[in-house]
Structure 1
Amino acid sequence: MSNRGLRYNRIEDMPQGMQQLVHKAGQAAPARGPADHQPRAPVEKRPKYGNVITTVDGIRFDSKREARYYEQLKLRQQAGEVHFWLRQVPIHLPGGTRYVLDFLVFLRDGHVDFVDVKGRETKEFRIKKREVEHHYPIKVLLA
């Protein structure tokens, strides 16, 4: 974005027509200089669904719920129920779209759980879940 604009330090620096407009309005234009221009502080972007980004064990999670599910997986692993898991696993769909699973959980009994952690089911989630289950022989679990 260009930093060009109509800024004058004094009314006398303005073109004649602009000076007349300022005088007609009955007020002088405030002097603007480099000290008057202060950059805005960066505004932190709010998450779309009000989720709180959380860090556990140095890993960044998109929500508290996702972080809690991770902690449950660790406990299930210690108990011997879960062998291991993968996070943020992309599933490529026709048309160039992709669906990212929150967790791919490998259980000790040989089963694999495809898990998405959601606070609420969104329309986009339902559509992509249906598409994934149509194209692949899997069932996405909502946690």
Structure 2
Amino acid sequence: EICELEVQVPYECVVEGKKICKYIADFRYRCGDDVMVEDTKGVITQVFSLKKKLVEALYPGLVIQIIKDPRELPRTAFYPRSLPVSS
């Protein structure tokens, strides 16, 4: 069960007193005792990859789950290989 759903949650990235950047997660919610952070991406850019690593390093225990935007997946990803996909 999802509880305490938040959207567009900011995480400040500060290293040795200097603000490096701000990461904004798409979703944060509680599932039982766990806090889940999710980000929906169509394309995973180098900037996002770097911010993800930085946030996870600065916030111990936080893991950002990447949810691939279904509009960006190949159409065949939604069907078993045994079924033909019409274009």
Under TM normalisation by the shorter chain, which class is it? 0.5 to 0.7
Q: In the alignment, which of 58, 72, 82 is matched to residue 2 of structure 2?
A: 82
Give the root-mean-square deviation of aligned CA atoms. 1.0
Q: In the alignment, which of 23, 29, 37 is matched to residue 99 of structure 1?
A: 23
Which structure has more RCO (C-alpha within 8 Å, separation ≥ 6)? Answer: 2
Alignment-derived partner of residue 33 in structure 2: 110
Report Cα offsets for 1:54-104 as digits up to 9, x if no partner. Answer: xxxxxxxxxxxxxxxxxxxxxxxxxxx112310000000023211000000
In percent, how many aligned pairs have the same letter? Answer: 31
Q: In the alignment, which of 124, 129, 141 is matched to residue 47 of structure 2?
A: 124
Q: Which runs of 5+ in 2 are unaligned?
A: 68-87
How many residues are aligned here?
62
Letter in 1 for 2:46: K
Alignment-derived partner of residue 57 in structure 1: none
Question: Rg bigger for which structure?
Answer: 1
Instruction: Considering fraction of residues, name the structure with more strand.
Output: 2
Alignment-derived partner of residue 58 in structure 2: 135
Shift, 1:115, TM fit? 0.6
TM-score, length-scaled by structure 1: 0.42
Shift, 1:139, TM fit? 0.7
Instruction: Considering fraction of residues, name the structure with more helix.
Output: 1
Q: Distance in 2 between matches of 1:83 and 1:100?
A: 19
Q: Provide the secondary structure at the position in 2 that maps to 1:126.
A: helix
Q: Distance in 2 between matches of 1:83 and 1:134?
A: 25
